[in-house]
Amino acid sequence: MQRYGTIFMLFEITTIFLNAHWFMDKLGISGTLIQIINDITLVLSYLGIRIMFGTYAIYNCLVSSLNYYWFYKLVRATIRQFTSRSDGVRLKKTR
């Protein structure tokens, strides 16, 4: 039982970067270099910890499928946020 507790606590490392992304968005510094670096770190840590290590360490298909789904959504949102139009203007989220 302790083995799974340790594995799931490792999953929470990615939450640090997700929270930093949220704070940057609320502070109005979206699209800056620091947010780009944070987002790349978020995607890479999610890939390494939750997808690669998590799939290896946990054999539960439900947990793995949820991680795959959220990784797809994460990559899609990151690409959408940082793609540029043909005139070079960065696309911003509108609310």
Across 60-89, average pLDDT:
76
- 36 burial type by CB count under 10 A (0-12 exposed, 13-18 middle, 19+ buried): middle
* CA-only gyration radius of the chain, Å: 15
Domain boundaries, the chain: 2-82
pLDDT tens digits for range 25-44: 899 888 888 988 999 999 99
Q: Is the pTM of this model over 0.85?
A: no
Specify the pLDDT at position 92: 52
